[in-house]
Amino acid sequence: MSIQESNQIGFINRAEALIRENLANEQFGVSELADAMNMSRSNLLRKIKRETQLSASQFIREIRLQEGMELLKSYSELTVSEISHQVGFGSTSYFIKCFREQYGYPPGEVGKHKDEELIEEPTSTFVQRNRWYLVAGMCAVLVVASYFMFNNKEVPQEKKIVKSIAVLPFKNESNDSTNLYFVNGLMESALNNLQKIEELRVISRTSVEKFRQTNLSAPEIAKELNVNYLVEGSGQRVGNQVLLNIQLIEASTDTPIWVEQYNQEIVDIFALQNDVAKKIAVSIEAVVTPAELERIEKKPTDNLEAYDYYLKALEPYHSRTKEGLEEAVLLFEKAIKEDTQFARAYANIAISYYFLDIDKKHKQYTELINNYADKALLYDSKSDLSLIAKALYYAQTDEYRLALPHLEKALEYNPNSTPVVQMLADLYARAIPNTDKYLEYALKGVQLDIAANDSVAKGYIYLHLSNALVQSGFVDESITFINESLNYDPKNYYSPLVKVYVEYAKNENMEETTKQLTSEWSKDTTRLDLMQEVAKFHYFQEDYEKAFHYYKKFADSREAYNLDIYPQEDIKISKVYKEMGLDKEASTFFNSYAEYCEKDQSIYKSASMAVKYAYEGELDEAMEQLKNFATEDNYQYWILLFMRKDPVMKPLQSHPEFDKTLQKIEDQFWENQALLRKSLEEKELI
């Protein structure tokens, strides 16, 4: 045996011994092992990876599982729960999951396998480790639901959501096409009522729209939607009568399990809608809580003329175009004129004004959004629409933290609200940066919608998931899903940009990334987002002339179109203009960045301030801000990839505390990622 091989085995044996000494301590993780071995965390990670082909957290977990196996063999009187805690698993279910992955059967079946010989190296556990690594590499971090959907494999029975349902677009049986809005309204009301039941997973209205005209059978539709039940309906309005035929189909057998024909006066329309939701819930044995039943039975309005205007407004409202939203506002206002306490109409006006103002630097409708949202909450504080409207007001005024409780409450009242899940993901991606929360809600969005949407929508959902994964450092998984995004929608507006960044995270090739970004921008030179990305990579390479070429185009266009976008980039623009001898313009951009820093309430404020002070040459102040940032959690992987490369930060690199502080930031990121992985595995999101 060579000295090198002896040192390798000695290192592994010492690490194993320390883990076993701290076996019952759930908190003894990678950082604690590094401290015990008098190594930096990054050195430990690299050495364990090199010697075992495992990550450090996988290595520790395997030792715990080996000890768990020995205890299960030797102490039959101990329960699985007791043993799981003795070997450092805080969650019994997580121990069972990991044990099954390691040994191929659950811990409760150890007795049946006692006589089986496990193939193992007599002097080392390398073979066993490598076998486990091969299994883990194939399945450890894929999103369970979406992975099976895209690979056309059956989800194990215990993973199925057996009470999943889609309400297909109702058919208008009237010769009068103007009645279509009314039939669509019946469908949407039935959908909204079912979405309030937490025990159901209900596909969104936009997701099922592509099945309005289809020749697919019920089982084929259900398979594509990944649901167990379908609701089909057809109806018409004849004078003051509503004629509605509706059936609930069990997809696996293509059998109607509930069928009803309604012939009622319009005055009873809300009773009809409530009856549909309750009978569907009963038919599939879904538990409806008293609070959910109360929300289902609440009438949106007692005024049928107001309700008619409301239904007419929905189609233009859902278009999200400027013309459609303006038309919808007029119709919602007519509804309010008929019923001054119509909460849904107030909420939808507020939401419409928000989308009319979106991306504008100078907002026109802020007070109107607030007033209509407050009216909506006044007349129905338990409506998810009312809460969404108020959350959007806070988004309009950049008070994002005040939006969060409204969105969380909206999700409580409507557990199937895809818009709320998407808004939470977006807030945690941009406004209140938190990589853990962003990834969690992106994963939830996939579970709610990914099987249901058309190819364009699927492309965007996978885009969000890929972006969330790479921000948390799950680079390989991110590559998988950005490729899925482009497979579904090669024309996706943003996926090519995200793919370029994901590939940079994988390879860190600055020159190649610059070429790819320039190529993407050349396909549409009006895109300001790509324009500033190209400029940024020239800036990182200190090619200030080329950076200036793109930054000037970007800054001029931003000013001309009165856009409030990318204020955090102004410090880079200032540096480039200064390098080009344009000191006056540089000062303007710097002042803009300083103003941005003062307003910033995110976890990145200290990092932004460090850049500001470094630019000014105030290196001690910059280092204090950087040390403050090192105490934060859940920051994006881009911090690790770009902070050392930023030309503004170069003077700070000579500071005696710079390397130590950057190492702390990097170590903290990887520790958080390990905890995030464990949390998401326990929630069965990955």
Percent of the chain at pLDDT > 70 equals 87
Residue 686: predicted pLDDT: 65
Checking if the pLDDT of 542 tops 80, the result is: yes
Residue 595: predicted pLDDT: 94
Residue 124: predicted pLDDT: 34
Which one, of 89, 98, 93, lies nearest residue 26 by Cα? 89
Long-range pairs for 315-321 at CB < 8 Å and ≥24 separation? 315/181, 315/184, 317/348, 317/352, 318/205, 318/206, 320/355
Residue 44: predicted pLDDT: 80
d(CA 419, CA 395): 14
Residue 448: predicted pLDDT: 65
Residue 91: predicted pLDDT: 67
CB atoms near residue 75 (< 10 Å):
12
Partners of 248 in beta bridges: 231, 258
Q: Are 664 and 630 in contact (CB under 8 A)?
A: yes
CB atoms near residue 498 (< 10 Å):
21
d(CA 287, CA 183): 28
Longest dimension (CA), the chain: 94
Which one, of 284, 270, 244, lies nearest residue 164 by Cα? 284
* Angstrom distances, CA of residue 646 to CA of 167, 467, 540, 553, 575: 51, 22, 6, 21, 11
Judging by beta carbons within 10 Å of its beta carbon (0-12, 13-18, 19+), is residue 334 exposed, middle or buried? middle
Mean per-residue pLDDT, 328-355: 96
d(CA 531, CA 544): 15
Checking if the pLDDT of 273 tops 90, the result is: no
Which one, of 74, 61, 53, 42, lies nearest residue 8 by Cα? 53
CB atoms near residue 358 (< 10 Å):
12
Residue 159: predicted pLDDT: 38
Checking if the pLDDT of 309 tops 70, the result is: yes
Sketch out the chain's domains with CATH numbers: 3-139 (1.10.10.60), 164-299 (3.40.50.10070), 309-415 (1.25.40.10), 416-487 (1.25.40.10), 532-681 (1.25.40)
* Angstrom distances, CA of residue 139 to CA of 33, 103, 134: 26, 15, 9
Residue with structure tokens 């659950």? 106
CB atoms near residue 162 (< 10 Å):
11
Residue 624: predicted pLDDT: 96
Checking if the pLDDT of 181 tops 60, the result is: yes
| Higher per-residue confidence, 215 vs 370 | 370
| Non-local CB neighbours of 145 within 8 Å, separated by 6+ positions | 155, 159, 226, 446, 447, 450, 451
Checking if the pLDDT of 293 tops 70, the result is: yes
Per-residue pLDDT tens for 68-96?
A: 888 888 776 777 878 888 888 876 766 77
Per-residue pLDDT tens for 216-250?
A: 888 888 888 888 899 988 888 888 888 888 899 99
Checking if the pLDDT of 449 tops 80, the result is: no
Give the distance, in angstroms, between the CA of residue 608 and the centroid of all CA atoms in the same chain.
Answer: 25
Checking if the pLDDT of 535 tops 50, the result is: yes
